[in-house]
Structure 1
Amino acid sequence: MPPSPATARRTNAPSDADAHRRDQYFFSLYRVFEAALLALMLFSPTGALIGEPRHALVGKATTVVYLAASGLLLYWAQRRRAPRTQVIVGTTIDIAAATLAIHSLPMAAPGIALLLMFNIGAAALIVPLRYGLGLGALASATMIAEFVWNALFDTDTGHPLAERVMFAVSYLSIAMLTYLLGRQMRESQELAARRGAEVADLAAINELIIRRMRTGVLLVDGDCHIRLANEAALLLLGEVEGERNLALAAPELARRLRKWLRDGEPDDSPLRFGSEQLEVLPRFARLLAQGDSTLVFLDDTSLVSRRAESMTLATLGRFSASLAHEIRNPLAAISYATQLLEESTEISAGDRRLLQIVHQQCLRTNGIVESVLGLARRERASAEHVDLVTFTRRFVEDYKQMLPPESGSVQVTGGPLPVPALADPRHLQQVLTVLLQNALTYGHLPGDPARVTLAVHAADGLPTIDVLDRGPGISAGAQVQLFRPFFTTSEHGTGLGLYIARELCRANEATLDYVPVPGGGSCFRVTLPGPNALLPA
């Protein structure tokens, strides 16, 4: 089965690893900016604004090395390998470069220490807590160590010890705070992703429920434009799929909607729609209390009569099934007796030919009985999400195991991408069995083996299966009666196969059509509903 819409959204959503890699990339880009800023202070006239460096050579060497290391770390981040190691190594380099820069540029020490605070916080946001606190502790230790070095070897420390202690405490604090903030953000993101997946699942379920409703549903805005329509509504209104204006698609329904919006009084008289002039009773309801969108429900009043017809057909089906069972018993006895007589050595050649005819007619009658039983036992469709490519290939593989080599060849064509559809797998298998048997039996020229192709593709956005053969084709006169019950062009056929196949397709809201093939051959096309049920108007 193909993935549901909710699963597809979860699959396409960015993962935590991708988010970390993106954060790591921008962190590395910021490090390049820091190195460039440090180079600007040391190698340009603007450096005079921060005073003379204490150790110019150390500062310039540190800047050049830091700038090169920043470029390498940015390249490492783009490669997306060992992200945790890259962050730890990069932040350690930041601490070392900041310490040496503070030692070389004592007048810029507070600013450099503040820049380093951002690096510590960004690292703690990406790596686990123990690594973040370790980097904060390392930065604090280097700040204190640099002050002690100045106190021991330089007479002028530049800044008091309290300032370095405050920066040290700030590094540890910012590491803890950013880690907690990052954890809360990740938990919120995971919760939002779960809630989004649940909402997507509910939307898919609601969409499927509304699609399977026998009541037509329309969503009409304040300008009388159709925003959404399910298949039942499109079937009742007729050929209006490309018309968004309700006043043009169904003028009487639009007039009744405006009257209801104006007066608030419903009209219980039915309307007639479509080429079949079906009686439809419209009902209206506001989508939101303060909104201008309206839900239009279309109830088919002829449903009662159709239910009565269904009950009649069900009664006839049960009668046919019981009659077929009664026929099968004596038929089996006749067939068995015929086989015994054929084994006798006292039967003449003429009588043996008559026995063969009796046996063939028994088989033919049994085929008719099986078709009637299959029609009588037909159940309602239980639609599921099906990948037609996988389903068709599995079906052909199973069918080939029972196919004699001299019967012909069968192949499946389709693209590498799945073709999702909504159908009952049992019904779809029966339909393909009928079409494949007919193609193997009639779809070849005399003396040539049958070559049948099942082509799976999407036609006009709908999942489709074409069963193609290379036979003589079907005459124009026979095409009109192809799907009528008991119509057959073969003396051995029952005329029920294509009729049952089309009925099964209708039960799945699918279509079965014959498509002429230029140059010879035949094509029976099964067009199924797509997995996303609600069709925009």
Structure 2
Amino acid sequence: MARRQPLSAASRETFWRSLQTLNVTRIVIALVLLLYLNFDARRGHTMGSAYAETCMFYAVAALLFAAVTRYYRHRFLWQLCSQILVDIAVISLLYLAAGGARSGLGLLYLFPLAGAAILAPLVLALFSASLATLFLLAESTWQIFISDNDPALFQAGIMGAAFFAVVVVVSRLAARLIRQEELAARRGADLRIQQAVYRIVVDDVGDGILVVGRDGFVFSGNPAARRMLGLDADSLDTGDGFRLADIPALEPVAQGFEAWLDAEPAEAYVTVKRWQGQAGQVRGRLDQPVHLKLRFARVDTPDGAAERSVIFMQDVSAIENQAQQLKLASMGRLTASIAHEVRNPLSAIGHATSLLAEDLHGPAEKRLLRIVGDNVARVNRMVEDILKLSRKVQPGGEPVHLKAFLAELKAEFTETHGLADNMIYIGDAGERTVRFDGLHLREVLVNLLGNAIRYASGKPASIRLFPVLDATGRVELHVQDDGPGITPEVRAHLFEPFYTTSSKGTGLGLYLARELCLNNGAMLDYEYRVDGPGGFDAPGRFVITFTI
């Protein structure tokens, strides 16, 4: 038994369950024998008191064995051997009481022998078969001396050989099943260990992880993902899941995922805005907007039965802020001396250029002077932007009425840049007001409109400004043009200081615009969206989200 005893707890539990099943079968056999006795008694036949007493004893013993096995899970081999010996003894007594080989009860030996072959080592199972065979041969031999009829010695020999054959075959099959179960138990234990390690890694990793279907249905996510998206724990732990598009604030994530499914780049940058409340069965709250870098990967499933994808989310807000702070740390040390060390020489160069322009009239000289003038203006603009960063005046004044403010801004901007009156479209702002310093808001929008002119087609309504309400009731101002969208590579550095894709730009315009928004409690970001009043096929827009 030591060699057959499994090492895993699961296999040992299987042995005890099999022994309990053997006990239940024994009870059924005892009841069948009692019913058979009662049936024969009604027909006028009698089996003798020994047969009845033996059946009653067997039924009681079967119940006792079942109770012991259920409540005393110790000494498995002793319990099994005692039960098998009782089975052989009882069946032998019934065999004698029923008239020997003529009764056909010799087949009952197969029950305990099969049980021994399954649960006991082969040696013990063969010993049990030998006991049953020796009894049958002994009984047949005894009939030679006390009976005139031909004894069933040959039949007893055949039955004994069958006993040994059954024991060997069943034992081999049981041993193979036991080895397979032990292998499955070990692999199951390894799998549980891997799952435990996976849960620890996934739960502790800083990046958010979402497992989604092709339709954007979220099946599971780690704590970091719940934290980034503002979801309650039970929104993913209940197993019901939800679709990303069901929550308006998560639409940028859903759209980035859909774009990736359409063979777009495997990375996207989105902003998840503040939201709270309940959308269907999904509950959660996000107090601050987060900027997320999304990476997508497909899961290889067998035969593609269930298509799954994984969305990796990285909160790049802190990374962006850290990169900006590193750049501003060095820039801050220069700010104090820029006014005297740079602006004064620039003024002198600009003045000298103007004087030279009065005396030089040749085409080559004019071209060189124009180059000098353009670069002086560019450096001076950069100095002005840097100085503005150091003058973060706290917002004040009266709330801004968007309808009148945008109309005035459009008229001024159109006249200044010589644009057609219908090139800039302003949506209906109603009576909405926002808390924002008027001068700061004008500077932010002038910067955004200046970028839009550079890429817009110039057609009527090719630039649009339209206020809307987000899911939480905050006012948003969308600025969009019909030009090509910003690529993900540029989006990753869009609001970094000194980053520009234009040879004439300083790289401080968008950064300054965002800083002014933050200074007024608002948020400026670029979103990949094609819905809403904009009506363009362009995949993105600048969005200013005002505070309530």
Higher-Rg structure is 2
Which protein, 1 or 2, shows the higher relative CO under an 8 Å CA cutoff with sep ≥ 6? 1
